[in-house]
Structure formats: structure tokens, C-alpha cells
Chains A and B, each alone.
Chain A
Amino acid sequence: MSFLFDRSGLLRPPGAADEADLVGSCIRCARCVEVRPYQSIRLGPITALRSYGTPFIDPLGSPCYLCMRCPEVCPTSALTVVPAVESAMGTARVIEESCYSWTGTVCNQCYRSCPLKGTAIDLDDLLQPVVTEACVGCGVCLHVCPTEPRSIHLVPRGETS
């Protein structure tokens, strides 16, 4: 999961403010952690420096299933209530060189698990998964991808590459 910390970019929960606003407005109360039914949200460790105590998601451990409960209990403007399709956590990208479906073995785990199935990940004519603009970066595809390392690259919002 080292790529999650590249450029100090953490995958933030749905409805999160932009990085600079989030570290400023988060009161570090851990309510988003305690409300989630999927144990997806973790707190930044002290090694995360200014992100200490702020929420992030490690999709390899548990991705976001878009239940959208965490923004409802956030007392600050760090997380705001948004529709699931606008949660804008990041964007997934299929690594076609190692993806089973792209290299000749039909798999499509990512397509079948995607909470926004058919909009965020679609299948092309050869049943190869294609991520669209509608992807919110929940990380479920990354979580279920059977290849090692995963054939999904997840870029948190505000990060490049």
C-alpha cells in the first residue's frame, strides 16, 4: 500500500474536503471510524504527521462500499454529505499489462464487484474492464482483484499519476 502514501496522498472517505481543507477542518474525533459498518476507515498514524488522526481508507484492507454513513456523523466540514456517485475519492485505472481479462483470461471480478457496476467500470466488446469518468475511487475493484500485485491503480483525488 506504499503507493497510498506516495506524495503524502491518502485515499480519503467519501465527501471529503480537499486535502488542505480536510487536515484543517477535521477535529480528529474518530466518529467516522466508529460509525462505519465495514471497518473501512482508519485513522492517520502519528507517522502521517499533519494527517495524524484524520480518516483514510486502505482498500487492500477494506475498501469503501459507499454506505455514505461517515459524512452524516462528521461534526465538521471535513466530510460533507454527498450522493454516493459524487463521493469523488479518487480514480481507478486498470493496469492492462497484468489484468487477467486484458491478457486473455476472463476474470471481470472488478466489474462484478463495483458498487457502480456498469457506470464506473464497464466491459468493452472483448469483455475487458474499462474504467469510466464515473469512477469515484472506492477501491472495491482493487480489493477484489486476484492478481498480485493488483492490476488496479487507484489514484486519490488531488493526486497525479
Chain B
Amino acid sequence: MKWRPIARKGAQVSVLAMLVAIPLLSMARIDFIQGTLCSFGTESWSVSCPLGVAQTSLASRTLDAGLLLSGFAFIALAFVAGRVFCSWICPQGFFSELGDKVHLAVRRVFKRPPPRPDTPAQYRRGQIFLYSFLGAGLVASFVFGVPVFCYICPIGLISRAIVGSTYLGTVGSELLVVAIILFVEVSFARRGWCKYICPVGALYGACTTKRSLTVVRDAHACVGCHTCERECSMGNSPVDDRVGRTCTNCGDCVDVCPEAALSQPLVQLGKKASAGVSPS
């Protein structure tokens, strides 16, 4: 077993454990740290969801230096490592990845062919929709004066459902949204939410540059077996050097490659991204 899947599952489960632990600690009157993935911290520091910061700034039409600063941590992470939030931290990403395993199993049971990677045109269409949705939501936040994505964002819904059920004694009826997302993803649209809709992931994807962490193929070692593109649930195709902004750097393709031709070089500084691997 490779180290990365274990570390990644460990991180995802730890995040969920923290989401449960913080309200439980609060119940025990240990409340020096509070919060959810929308914003967490102590009285002296905060880390906030950058999309939440953008939306609330637009909706309330105010700019607050402290709030903007608190949204910077995850933005910086995305600059360095792309959508790594999606594959290591996001609770919906965790459930969606499990859902994807179910999706593949369902395909096998019904003798359906394995999923094909997106064609460049499909990929581009998906990206156009993803970023249009993000833009439309930001405009809507400004127009209607409420952070519109917060009402449907499964990250926040899961966070608040945990706070509600562990602490306030409410039923997590907001988890219905998560259930719908999972149902759609498992039954037909592979990672549909993460790929085509999730505005948080879109924002992180938008932050990637040529220098950000991504998957790089060693053309000499690659034998063109296409195993990597079947593994990728986000529609990328490392074998064709098509790794775009949806790549969450989960590393599943790197681990599955039989020739060890794929890698995620940590230091891309000064190195021109070789042909094709630049985020497009």
C-alpha cells in the first residue's frame, strides 16, 4: 500500500473528527478554538473560507482587512498546491471519493464499460459552466445581499449539521443536499458536483498557476497504458498531458501508474512547465 492514500484518508477523517470534536469540546466548556470549515480559529486568529469571505464582502458591501486576511490562508494553499483542499480537507470531497468507488462498482455490476476521460471539448465545456456558476453566484451575492453559495455549499452544510446534531440537538436536515449530490454522483455524473458545480473548488482551481503543484508525466517512462486517466475521477488525462484546473492533486494517478512515470514535483520554481501539463 502506498503512503499517500493512507495519509489522505487520514487527513480527511481527521478533518471530520475535528468538526465533531470542536463542538464536543465546547460542550465541555473548552472553547478556546471554535469554528467550522467556513471559519475557524481562536480569539486572536482566524482562517476563513475564501469564497465565504468574497461572498459576505460582496453581500454586505464592506471590506474588512481582518476578514480578508483570514481568507488568505486557503488561497495561498491553492497557489502553491492547486485544489489540494478538495482532496485532503474537504468533507464533501471525502464522501464524493467514496461515492466514486461505489459508482465504479455499480458500473461493473451492470456490465457497463469503464468511464472514459473527458475529451478536451467536454472538459472545456465543464470548465466554462463551473466558472460561469461561480461568477453568477458572486454577482447574485452582491445583488441580493446574501452569500448565496452558503445555502447550498455541502462543506458548510456538513459543518453546521455536525454542530447542530452534536451540540444544539437539531436534526441535520441540511444533509439532504449532500444526499442529493451523492445520489447524482453515484448514479450517473462521476464527481459531478466537484467537477462542474462546486464554487469553492472552482475558486481554488482559479488560483493555480504554471508553478502550482500538479501531475507531471515522464514521457520516456510512460508506456501509454491509459491506466491513469481511468483512475482520475475529475476528468483529467495525465497520459495525454491534459491535467487542468480540476486536478485536486489527489495523486491517485501517480500511485496507480505501473511505470512510475507520473510525479508531482514539489519544486517547480524556475522550471518552465513542460508542454501540455500547464493548467489550461
Cβ contact within 8 Å between B170 and A45 = yes
Question: In chain A, what residue has the closest Cβ to B164?
Answer: A43
Query: B246 near A: Cβ within 8 Å?
Result: no
Cβ contact within 8 Å between B67 and A77 = yes
Closest CB-CB distance, A27 to chain B, in whole Å?
Answer: 4
Closest CB-CB distance, B164 to chain A, in whole Å?
Answer: 6
Q: Which residues of B contact A26 (CB under 8 A)?
A: 56, 147
Q: Which residues of B contact A159 (CB under 8 A)?
A: none
Q: Which residues of B contact A27 (CB under 8 A)?
A: 38-39, 48-49, 52-53, 56, 147, 150
Query: A150 near B: Cβ within 8 Å?
Result: no
How does the 8 Å CB contact mask read for A13-37 relative to B, with 1 for contact and 0 for none? 0000100110111111111011101
Query: B249 near A: Cβ within 8 Å?
Result: no
Of A30, A33, A75, the residue contacting B66 (CB under 8 A) is A75
Given A34-B22, A53-B160, A75-B46; A29-B39 close (CB under 8 Å): yes
Q: How large is the interface on B (under 10, 10 to 19, 20 to 34, 35 or more residues)?
A: 35 or more
Q: Which residues of B contact A25 (CB under 8 A)?
A: 56, 59-60, 62
Q: Which residues of B contact A28 (CB under 8 A)?
A: 38, 52, 147, 150, 156, 160
Closest CB-CB distance, A10 to chain B, in whole Å?
Answer: 15
Cβ contact within 8 Å between A76 and B64 = yes
Closest CB-CB distance, A39 to chain B, in whole Å?
Answer: 8
Question: In chain B, what residue has the closest Cβ to A25?
Answer: B60
Query: B36 near A: Cβ within 8 Å?
Result: yes
Q: Which residues of A contact B60 (CB under 8 A)?
A: 17, 21, 24-25, 76-77
Question: In chain A, what residue has the closest Cβ to B69?
Answer: A75
Q: Which residues of A contact B59 (CB under 8 A)?
A: 23-25
Q: Which residues of B contact A73 (CB under 8 A)?
A: 34-35, 41-43
Closest CB-CB distance, A80 to chain B, in whole Å?
Answer: 10
Q: Which residues of A contact B67 (CB under 8 A)?
A: 75-77
Residue among B38, B60, B67, B156 with most chain A CB within 10 A: B60
Query: A12 near B: Cβ within 8 Å?
Result: no
Binds A, one of B23-31, B97-105, B262-270: B23-31
* A contact residues, total (Cβ < 8 Å): 28
Q: Which residues of A contact B174 (CB under 8 A)?
A: 46, 52
Q: Which residues of B contact A24 (CB under 8 A)?
A: 56, 59-61, 145-147
Closest CB-CB distance, B39 to chain A, in whole Å?
Answer: 4
Cβ contact within 8 Å between B34 and A43 = no
Query: A50 near B: Cβ within 8 Å?
Result: yes
Roughly how many angstroms separate A138 CA and B40 CA in the complex, as a whole number? 26
Q: Which residues of B contact A75 (CB under 8 A)?
A: 39, 41, 46, 48, 66-67, 70
How does the 8 Å CB contact mask read for A99-136 relative to B, with 1 for contact and 0 for none? 00000000000000000000000000000000000000
Roughly how many angstroms separate A31 CA and B49 CA in the complex, as a whole number? 13
Cβ contact within 8 Å between A53 and B34 = no
Closest CB-CB distance, A51 to chain B, in whole Å?
Answer: 9
Cβ contact within 8 Å between B29 and A37 = yes
Query: B151 near A: Cβ within 8 Å?
Result: yes
How does the 8 Å CB contact mask read for B142-177 relative to A, with 1 for contact and 0 for none? 000111001100001001100110011010011000
Roughly how many angstroms separate A29 CA and B162 CA in the complex, as a whole number? 12
Closest CB-CB distance, A36 to chain B, in whole Å?
Answer: 8
Query: A86 near B: Cβ within 8 Å?
Result: no
Given A27-B48, A27-B49, A27-B52; A34-B145 close (CB under 8 Å): no
Query: A143 near B: Cβ within 8 Å?
Result: no
CB-CB nearest 5 A-B residue pairs: A24-B59, A29-B39, A25-B60, A29-B38, A34-B34
5 new A-B pairs (CB below 8 Å) besides A27-B56, A33-B167, A73-B42?
Answer: A25-B62, A30-B160, A42-B168, A45-B170, A75-B67
Interfacial residues, chain A to chain B (CB-CB below 8 A): 17, 20-21, 23-31, 33-35, 37, 42-43, 45-46, 50, 52-53, 72-73, 75-77
